[in-house]
Chain A
Amino acid sequence: MSFRARALSFAYGLDTATFDLPTSGFVTIAGPNGAGKSTLLGIMAGLRHPYKGECTYRGIEIRRWRRRDFARQVAFLPQSMKLEFPFTAEQVVFMGRAPYADGWFESQKDHEAVARAMATTDTAAFAARDFRSLSGGEKQRVILASALAQEPDTLLLDEPTTFLDLKHQLAMYKLLSSLSKRMLVVAVTHDLNLALRFSDSVIVMESGRIAAHGPPNEALAPTLIDRVFGIHSELRDGWLIYDA
């Protein structure tokens, strides 16, 4: 087991959530705006506190983890990133090595991990470019590469495809799906069809509570979708079709 939450609550947006997550696989978190998806992810990433209830990672309460040790196990990807300064894509990726950094210069191991991360995300081609000059899709891949450079066991992603076109959305989910064979990937998403198609399990949230948690075809049953999102939907050939 990786994450274990019991009656997990936060001042706003999260109310007595209880769940267990495995150590690998692809988990998506879906739900309407304000349902508490990002709050939940933020608590799991150690970025939102104080929380009430229990939330452990590998048996240790999140707030008790040493930040640096935690960062070697759990990587968090923000929805987007605005940089004020001219860091290159490669420098951004190298920052993923911070939890392992001892000295002033990067080690051989750091270089190897960064090269692997950039190969996996296909970002080596623009390594030397100013991050700010990259397209939305390229930026998102560089941020992912930086997270992979942390060599984590768990990836937490807050709406990783918001700024991507269709082709890049699919590519991102395929990549996450293949990564989830060897690590836990948890992604907040608004795209129910991507969740349905790629994830191993789905958490559906509704006003701070977990409305459903299970395999995608169960958690994303049209009756539940209709209630939670206030729409009309049906499942056709394995795809959710929406209709207001």
Chain B
Amino acid sequence: MTRSVWLSLAILLAVAIATPLIGSSHIELRRALAGVSPDHEILFYARLPRVLLALLAGAALSLTGVLFQCLLRDPLAEPYTLGISSGGSVGAVIGICFGLPAIGLLSLAGAGIALLIVLGIAFEGRRLSSFTLLLAGVTMNSISLAIVLFLHNLASFSQSFAISRWLMGGLDAVPYSTLAWLAAAVIPVCVLVIARSRQWNLLAVGEEWASSRGLSTTTYTVLGYIAGSFLTGIVTSLTGPIGFVGLIVPHALRLKLGADHRMLMPCSFLLGAAFLAVCDALSRTVIAPTEIPVGVVTALAGGPFFIWLLRSKRRSLWL
């Protein structure tokens, strides 16, 4: 059982070491480590921060995917189903349209407001069911997207370009200080979520099922939703909405590992990180020096892989 986790960790480490060395211009590790320009700058200021961002974002998004699929008992749920990232997009697009600074922070604020609104709608007295959460979240999503479309419609040509770029999602090199606080926010929350895997197993079956086995379903649904929204909001404030990671990684792993969240969650965390870093490496190199938006790569690389996996379900791949 734990073999899969170790294997996932090994794959993650291999990817984390290999992907910073891959890119549109060739660099030599020895020169980079010795501080020789430009290899040093390319490795440490262009590629490594970007790979680290990809790792953190991929881990958080695919873990959130597993969590939301479980909370909603919907295999098609993903981190963006419940309106958080589109709330974030509203914040970012308002920032772009009105020429405000700190687009990332505005996106975070938008995500936070969306979270509060969804919770406010979804609570019935002191109880909350996943069904009303889903309805509230999906409605929030539609309203936010409508606001984004409306603002996009009013935007100037250059603003419009910036909005499109944002909505596509993408990874850029960010300062190490930003990465440090991202890691400090994302990793502890992920650990807390993974630590509750046995409880998520109960909720993945159903609310009555969990409740009649001693779980406070409202508490776990709300905490799970807040944790997943926090992860999604904070990641998309830096990357925009990168699609498909939160859907495909959990699904592929569920096919291989089964539904037990004690296996599924740590492996999704580790391999989600690896998957996004690999997709980012592809996006930087396939038609270099032009970059493909990483959301396009996740769908184009992930989609066919997933179909192949679905069709070869009985064969063992590598786990």
Contact = CB atoms under 8 A, between A and B. Distances in A.
Interface of A: 45-47, 67-72, 74-76, 78, 81, 83-88, 91-92, 95-96, 98-99, 101, 104, 150
Contact of A91 (B69, B201, B210): B201
Interface string B212-233: 1111100000000000000000
B205 A83 contact: yes
B165 interface: no
B217 to A, nearest CB: 9
Interface stretch (B20-28, B41-49, B257-265, B275-283): B257-265
A87 B213 contact: no
Nearest to B206: A81
A78 B211 contact: no
B254 interface: yes
Contact size range, B? 20 to 34
A87 B73 contact: no
A14 to B, nearest CB: 18
Nearest to B198: A101
B291 interface: no
Contact of A78 (B202, B208, B259): B208
4 nearest A-B pairs in the assembled complex, by CB-CB distance: A71-B214, A68-B214, A85-B259, A76-B212
Given A85-B75, A86-B258, A46 B211 contact: yes
A67 B209 contact: no
A47 B75 CA distance: 26
Contact of B209 (A68, A81, A91, A101): A81
A47 B259 contact: no
Interface string B43-80: 00000000000000000000000000110011100000
B171 to A, nearest CB: 30
Contact of B258 (A71, A74, A81, A91): A91
B211 A47 contact: yes
A78 B209 contact: yes
Contacts, number: 77
A101 B198 CA distance: 9
A143 B199 CA distance: 18
A98 B198 contact: yes
B213 A71 contact: yes
B254 A86 contact: yes
B204 interface: yes
B139 interface: no
B159 interface: no
29 contacts: A69-B214, A70-B214, A71-B212, A71-B213, A72-B214, A75-B212, A76-B208, A78-B206, A78-B209, A81-B206, A81-B209, A83-B205, A84-B73, A85-B69, A85-B259, A86-B255, A86-B258, A87-B204, A87-B260, A88-B258, A91-B258, A91-B259, A92-B205, A95-B205, A95-B209, A96-B213, A98-B214, A98-B215, A99-B214
Contacts of A78: 206, 208-209
Given A85-B259, A95-B205, A104 B213 contact: no
Nearest to B195: A104
A76 B259 CA distance: 23
A68 B198 CA distance: 14
Contact of B205 (A69, A87, A101): A87
B75 A104 contact: no
B302 to A, nearest CB: 20
Contacts of B197: 104
A129 B89 CA distance: 43
A87 B201 CA distance: 9
A67 B75 contact: no
A67 B199 CA distance: 14
Given A67-B216, A95-B202, A98-B214, A87 B209 contact: no
Nearest to B127: A49
A84 B254 contact: no
A70 B302 CA distance: 45
Contacts of B216: 67
Given A86-B258, A104-B197, A150 B213 contact: yes
Contact of B204 (A45, A74, A84, A150): A84
Contacts of B69: 84-85
B214 A81 contact: no
